[in-house]
Structure 1
Amino acid sequence: MVVQKSARRLYLLHHDKVLEAYDIGLGFSPAGDKKIEGDGKTPEGMYFIDRRNPNSNFHLSVGISYPNPVDRAEAADLGKSPGGDIFIHGRPWKNRKGGRDWTAGCIAVTNREMEDIYAMVRDGTPITIRP
């Protein structure tokens, strides 16, 4: 998986071939890398899908392994928590009119797209999030 934050696109890949591409929403403060809890930014870097939630408040969700050791060290240098619970998820009814970038740092797609992602992506899948 590759996320291009500036293009607001998520790509599902098989080797170098794009299988699917989705428009995405990001954190409410989308420019820049997530550094600390509550900054509203979506992280940038190399992670992997590390969990699944079929009972998510956001339709379905798959977890991203943020924070990694580099993220933890950067936040510690600032004397802050890096935060966590970064997911790719759907859009609940209550956020249906929330604009494009409305999450606390997660990556949002439509509920139908999330069903496809949930079915296709396995735990351990690498995800690169680029500016």
Structure 2
Amino acid sequence: MRNTRVVLALCILLALGACSKFRTYNGPEVTRIVVYKGERKMYLLHHDSVLATHDIDLGFAPAGHKQFEGDGKTPEGRYYIDRRNPNSKFHLSLGISYPNPDDIAFAAKNGRSPGGDIFIHGEVNRDQRKNLDWTAGCIAVKKREMEKIYAMVGDGTVIDIYP
């Protein structure tokens, strides 16, 4: 009887662990993220080797570089992963260091705010979306993919976003 309880307890713990959104990763370090907006692809790289490829959704106005708050564009250029949000309303998220000093200066010169809070995050349910590109400027992937990305990518990782 005692063995049955121990086995049952272990099964429950394993099942709960399998349901967790927090995963572990023991592979090569992700040294860079590359996003090609036009292809709707994101690549996680270890130097020149591709570790993972993901299909992405973008801001609701995907063409061009983000310039102002509310423009619906995903930024272009070199940024960094600068924060993590384990409690994101989009499952999990990794913050992108937009706006940089150039983005801030451009917006200020035009009397506008550059916006902010740009993330890589999980997606909403497909039936809740109206369009392929639906974010306010973020990069979205499937929730299960975001779990892997969250485990693989560290703070300070370079992210290059191309048109």
TM bracket, shorter-chain basis? over 0.9
SS in structure 1 at match of 2:102: helix
Unaligned runs of 5+ in 2: 1-32
User: Are 2:41 and 1:6 aligned?
Assistant: no
Percent identity between the two aligned chains: 68
Map of 2:70 onto structure 1: 38
Unaligned runs of 5+ in 1: none
SS in structure 2 at match of 1:51: strand
Q: 1 CA distance for matches of 2:101 and 2:47?
A: 26
Map of 2:130 onto structure 1: 98
Map of 1:86 onto structure 2: 118
Map 1:1-131; keep pairs closer than 5 Å.
1-93=33-125, 96-131=128-163
- Report the CA distance shift for 1:95/1:77 in structure 2 as closer, same or farther (over 3 A): farther
- Report the CA distance shift for 1:114/1:95 in structure 2 as closer, same or farther (over 3 A): farther
- The AA in structure 1 aligned to 2:61 is S
Q: Deviations over 1:48-86 (max 9, x none)?
A: 000000000000000000000111111111110000000
Question: How far apart are residue 99 of structure 1 and its match?
Answer: 2.4
- Kindly indicate which of the two structures has a greater share of residues assigned to helix: 2
The Cα RMSD (Å) is 1.2
Question: How far apart are residue 98 of structure 1 and its match?
Answer: 3.1
Q: 2 CA distance for matches of 1:129 and 1:115?
A: 21
Q: Which structure's CA Rg is the greater one?
A: 2
Q: Deviations over 1:92-120 (max 9, x none)?
A: 33864332100000000000110010000
